[in-house]
Structure 1
Amino acid sequence: MTRPSTGGPSIVIAGGGSGGHIEPALAFADAVRALRPDARITALGTEKGLDTTLIPARGYPLELIPPVPLPRKPSADLLRLPGKVRSAVGRVREVLAGVDAQAVVGFGGYVALPAYLGARGRVPIVVHEANARAGLANKVGARFADIVAVAVPGSGLPGERVVGMPLRRSITALNRESLRPQARKFFGLPPHGPVLLVFGGSLGARTLNTAVAAALPELLRAGIAVLHAHGKGGEPAPPARGYLGLPYIERMDLAYAAADAVLCRAGATTVAEVSAVGLPAVYVPLPHGNGEQSLNARPVVAAGGGVLVDDADLTGERVVAELAPLLRDPLRLAEAGAAARSSGHADAADTLARMVLELVGATPEPATQVLPPWRDR
């Protein structure tokens, strides 16, 4: 099925829509470029979501296809779905032919489904599932994929191979200790003493915000500084010395370097990043959905790198009870951080890139090859 290359390997990635699909796709693309600087990477996406913002900013060409959102309930949109799928699949096939694609690598979401269907029988297909419970697109694609890679075991997909979550090099290569003084200065945090990092995603999390506000006086009295991303629509805690509230943290690498422990949700990317940098965490899964956030965090929790707290149980008192003793005990922090790091797969992007290059018959260039600059956010 593999075509001979007419230059560097040509690989199409499909992970548009949300940051949770786009970021691992771009981390994988970066890893392919590091191994084969002559590789030609083409991204599929739609005009909806973050595709047109994030993908070109990282230096990758974007080919737009018609969006195929999958209705959750019976509606008129469901009746129009077959026509939308046919249109999107046709566009995917045009792109594959135009770039002489040698493989399609999908990361789930509504861009991935037409990508898998368009590639079927034409080029090899690789599926990567980030969550503990696979989404519909990846369930379909895995039925005829050449490789099924997953971030955590137990996805239910046939033939799963656990590789971890592909992450940006600015995260996987982060040296928190050496960067700590710069990171603390960047945020205006105390140069010494423990720091708690709190974030709930780009929109924040009301439960986390409320609990942190209630816990803040006790945390500050214990000498614990707090760096809090409360979300664009969220409320920060009242101003206090040792507390910094921000709507959004652009430099998450510096935030991780400044912190000693984390209070956060349990999305697949969040769990992968926090564990990869070796930070112990209190994970508070979203209280809705199919429960995949709790499953995402279970491997790191089982390893001793974090604890799970139900959203309904997160109060100011619980924040203090879980985090204050940990943050005031350097030995416990070091042990929990090491356990978190050991549970992750910091080399996931490189591992997946090598698997795909081997699939298409493209040998990585020697390790002495000068790597291209990373184009992280």
Structure 2
Amino acid sequence: MAHKVIIAGGGTGGHIFPAIAIANALRKLEPDTEILFVGAKGKMEMEKVPQAGYPIEGLDIAGFNRSNMLKNLLLPFKLLKSLRQARNVLKQFQPDVVVGVGGYASFPVLRQAQRRDIPTLIQEQNSWAGKSNKILGRKAEKICVAYEGMDKFFPADKILQTGNPVRGAITQSAVSREEAMLHFGLSMGKPTLFAVGGSLGAKAINDALMPHLAEFVNKDIQLIWQTGKLYYDTAKAAATKYATHVKVYDFINVMDFAYKAADAVISRAGALAIAELCVVKKPVIFVPYPFAAEDHQTQNALSLVNKQAALMIPNSEAGARLVNEALSLVQNKALMQQLEANIAPLGGINADMTIARAVLGLIK
């Protein structure tokens, strides 16, 4: 009989793409496995998961709003409603195991699964565990982690060190540098930077780049700039006169091309971005998003900085320092080689299969 697995969570690409990688690995191991995703209504998983070929159910749930406290008054009601909805999904689908990848929808689904003695597995992507996962970890059968020292958050006997799953499009990419450069309309042989702020864009990175676009032309350095939807029109307009060197996109679907074209990368420090950068072995300057829960992006970045495998600039200093340091990095061959050599051993390309095996191992 086919096994049934629910994968719950989402909110950002950092949760969704690893979840899809786990689902694909499950299908590789057991092609007839029935997989259902559960996400948050109105979030990007409701679009990205069906595009990847999987069904998804949406819950009415939102996260804690740090910028508008009034919005949090409705949170208890939304949580109760989402717990009811999660219970109904479990009743209808009757999964053998439930996987939580973080994000709003993860908590109600895993909470209800644990109440019904359905085995649960948590995939904790960050070096600093979120509150929900710490609560869920007490009753989860397995907790898959990407960083060392996670026993300060979870019971040591439940932890499985797997690394973070990276999309097959990146781990198995065969694109050449020439093809990548051609795709973005760039010239071979010129130093190239790739600036990316995650799937939703990053204001501090965008604001830091905007006044300095002329410098890219003056120094003959190329820039691939993923702005996110909100900043795209502003950036596109500003970059028009520098179009030979600055290429602007709201979202890049072919990340393997962007990584291949780049000599160095400017990035937020989400767990997915870090996992990808370790696999593609790129020198990187991290600008951690300071408002992430428990400031986990700074912790993520420091785990590489402490190994001399990356550079880091605090969000508040990006405007003053980022462009200068990025331009000097791509001109400093020795520093780039050192960063590449130190980041290379941190990449794991089999995390998805290791996690998928752990999931199937929980089925009674």
Give the shorter-chain TM-score range.
0.7 to 0.9
Shift of 1:75: 6.7
RMSD of aligned residue pairs (Cα, Å): 2.7
CA deviation after TM superposition for structure 1 residue 232, in Å: 2.6
Q: 1:33 to 1:154 in 2, by over 3 A?
A: same
The reply on whether 1:41 has 2:11 as its aligned counterpart is no
Match of 1:92 in 2: 86
Among residues 190, 193, 207, which one is paired with 1:193 in the alignment?
190
Task: Give, in whole Å, the separation in 1 of the partners of 2:64 and 2:207.
Answer: 34
- Aligned residue for 1:181? 178
Q: Which residue of 2 aligns with 1:223?
A: 220
Provide the rounded CA distance (Å) in 2 between the counterparts of 1:107 and 1:167. 13
Q: If the length of structure 1 is used for normalisation, what is the TM-score?
A: 0.83
In structure 2, what is the equivalent of residue 146 of structure 1? Answer: 141
Deviations 1:96-122 (A, max 9, x none): 343331110001222111111211142
CA contact (8 A) 2:226 2:248 kept: yes
Call closer, same or farther: CA 1:311–1:51 in 2, change over 3 Å.
Answer: closer
Amino acid at match of 1:231: G
Equivalence map 1:131-142=2 (5 Å): 131-142=126-137
- Cα contact 1:107–1:138 (8 A) shared by 2: no
Once the two structures are TM-superposed, the CA of residue 282 in structure 1 deviates from its matched residue by 0.5
Q: Structure 1 residue 77: deviation in Å?
A: 6.2
Is 1:285 aligned to 2:285, yes or no? no
- Residue equivalent to 1:338: 341
Q: Which amino acid aligns with 2:83?
A: V
Deviation at 1:200, TM superposition (A): 1.6
Deviation digits for residues 112-170 of structure 1 (CA, Å, limit 9, x no counterpart): 11111211142111011122222232122111000112232345421343322222111
* Paired AA for residue 350 in structure 1: M
**CA distance in 1: counterparts of 2:6 and 2:279, whole angstroms:** 27
Cα distance in 1 for residues equivalent to 2:19 and 2:268 = 21
1:243 aligns with 2:246: yes
Which residue identity is paired with 2:186? L
Q: Distance in 2 between matches of 1:282 and 1:79?
A: 38
Question: Relative to structure 1, is the Cα distance of residues 242 and 166 closer, same or farther in structure 2, using a 3 angstrom cutoff?
Answer: same
Q: Does 1:60 align with 2:59?
A: no
* Partner amino acid, structure 1, of 2:82: A
State the one-letter code of the partner of 2:26. Answer: V
Correspondence for 1:21 among 15, 18, 38: 15
1:300-319 alignment, distance < 5 Å? 300-315=304-319, 318-319=322-323
C-alpha separation in 2, matches of 1:128 and 1:323 = 33
> For the residues of structure 2 that align with 1:75 and 1:330, how far apart are their CA atoms?
51
Deviation at 1:325, TM superposition (A): 4.0
User: What are structure 1's unaligned runs of at least 5 residues?
Assistant: 1-5, 362-377
CA contact (8 A) 1:108 1:129 kept: yes
1:76 deviates by 9.3
Secondary structure of the structure 1 residue equivalent to 2:251 = coil
Aligned-partner SS, 1:104:
strand
Distance 1:44 1:243 in 2: 39
Instruction: Provide the C-alpha distance between the structure 1 equivalents of 2:69 and 2:45, rounded to a whole number of angstroms.
Output: 28
Partner amino acid for 2:172? A
1:281 positional shift:
0.5
| Cα separation, 2, equivalents of 1:350 and 1:144 | 23
Instruction: Call closer, same or farther: CA 1:64–1:76 in 2, change over 3 Å.
Output: closer
Q: Distance in 2 between matches of 1:244 and 1:36?
A: 42
> Which residue is equivalent to 1:157?
153
- Once the 2 structures are TM-superposed, how far is the Cα of residue 189 of structure 1 from its aligned partner? 0.6
From 103, 107, 113, the equivalent of 1:109 is 103
Return closer, same or farther for 1:69/1:309 CA change in 2, 3 Å cut-off: closer
Q: Report matched runs for 1:354-373 at 5 Å.
A: 354-360=357-363
Contact 2:65 / 2:71 at 8 angstroms: preserved in 1? no
The answer as to 2:122 corresponding to 1:123 is no
**Structure richer in helix, relative to its length:** 2
- TM-score, normalised to structure 2's length? 0.86
Residues in 2 aligned to 1:313 and 1:355: alpha-carbon distance in whole angstroms: 42
Matched residue type, 1:169:
G
- CA 229–97 in structure 1, closer or farther in 2 if over 3 Å, else same: same
